[in-house]
């Protein structure tokens, strides 16, 4: 069973991380992740499969981030991640690539093999902003850009 933080706890932890990073001159990242294709999974395999797919993505994300990082389910198929131990923007980018590579592995549900995918964006504290709202907006915009690029392929 994977336990995720809710929206309220995510914002609380983000405020704490922001305050600490400003005081200690640390860097961190925010990752926005939106599962792609949930409607198709629900339509083709049923809502139990869709729920299982969301849980599987949460499990895969949690398996790749640090113990002190925060993984939040913001509703439905949306996730936000606060990533510490970041040296620079490239660290976050590499983690998003690892998460993507893990998510796209086929998922077995009952007798079906379901392909999972997600759009992932990120923001880097300091380089992309030092205010909570700015960082969240930057990560979301980055995620929506990835989603648009995926649809164009």
Domain assignment of residue 1, yes or no: no
Alpha-carbon distance of 133 to 150, in angstroms, equals 26
The band of 149, judged by pLDDT with boundaries at 50, 70 and 90, is confident
Cα dihedral value 59, 64, 68, 71, nearest 10: -40
| Three-class DSSP category at 87 | coil
Q: Looking at residue 27, which CATH number applies to its domain?
A: 3.30.70.270
Place of tokens 């990835």: 146
pLDDT average, residue stretch 63-81: 92
Q: Which two tokens stand for residue 15?
A: 């405020």
Packed helices 47-64 and 89-103: angle between N→C axes, nearest 10 degrees: 140
Q: Assess whether pLDDT exceeds 70 at residue 139.
A: yes
Catalytic residues: 77
pLDDT confidence of residue 151: 64
Asked if residue 45 lies in contact with residue 32, where contact means CB atoms within 8 angstroms, the answer is no
Express as a percent the part of the chain with pLDDT over 90: 83
Q: Assess whether pLDDT exceeds 80 at residue 83.
A: yes
Asked if residue 122 lies in contact with residue 139, where contact means CB atoms within 8 angstroms, the answer is yes
Domains identified in the chain, total number: 1
| Three-class DSSP category at 66 | coil
Q: Assess whether pLDDT exceeds 80 at residue 1.
A: no
Domain assignment of residue 16, yes or no: yes
Alpha-carbon distance of 104 to 61, in angstroms, equals 12
pLDDT confidence of residue 74: 87
User: pLDDT of 85-137, one tens digit each?
Assistant: 888 899 999 999 999 999 999 999 999 999 999 999 999 999 999 999 999 99
Domain assignment of residue 2, yes or no: no
pLDDT confidence of residue 4: 87
Domain assignment of residue 20, yes or no: yes
Q: Which of 118, 119, 123, 120 is nearest to 139 (CA)?
A: 123
User: pLDDT of 7-41, one tens digit each?
Assistant: 999 999 999 999 999 999 999 999 999 999 999 99
pLDDT confidence of residue 75: 82
Asked if residue 79 lies in contact with residue 70, where contact means CB atoms within 8 angstroms, the answer is no
Quote the domain boundaries for residue 40.
7-152
**149 or 68, higher pLDDT:** 68
Q: 90 exposed, middle or buried (CB, 10 Å; 0-12, 13-18, 19+)?
A: exposed
């Amino acid at each position: 069973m994977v336990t995720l933080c809710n929206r309220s706890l995510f914002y609380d932890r983000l405020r704490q991380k922001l305050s600490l990073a400003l005081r200690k001159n640390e860097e961190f990242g925010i990752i926005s992740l939106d599962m792609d294709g949930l409607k198709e999974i629900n339509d083709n395999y049923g809502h139990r499969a869709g729920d299982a797919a969301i849980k599987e993505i949460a499990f895969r994300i949690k398996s790749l981030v640090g113990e002190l990082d925060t993984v939040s389910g913001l509703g439905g198929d949306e996730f936000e991640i606060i990533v510490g131990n970041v040296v620079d923007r490239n660290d976050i980018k590499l983690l998003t690539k690892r998460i993507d590579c893990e998510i796209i592995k086929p998922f077995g549900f009952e007798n079906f093999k379901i392909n999972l995918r997600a759009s992932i964006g990120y923001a880097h504290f300091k380089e992309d902003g030092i205010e909570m709202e700015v960082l969240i907006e930057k990560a979301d915009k980055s995620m929506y850009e990835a989603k648009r690029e995926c649809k164009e392929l």
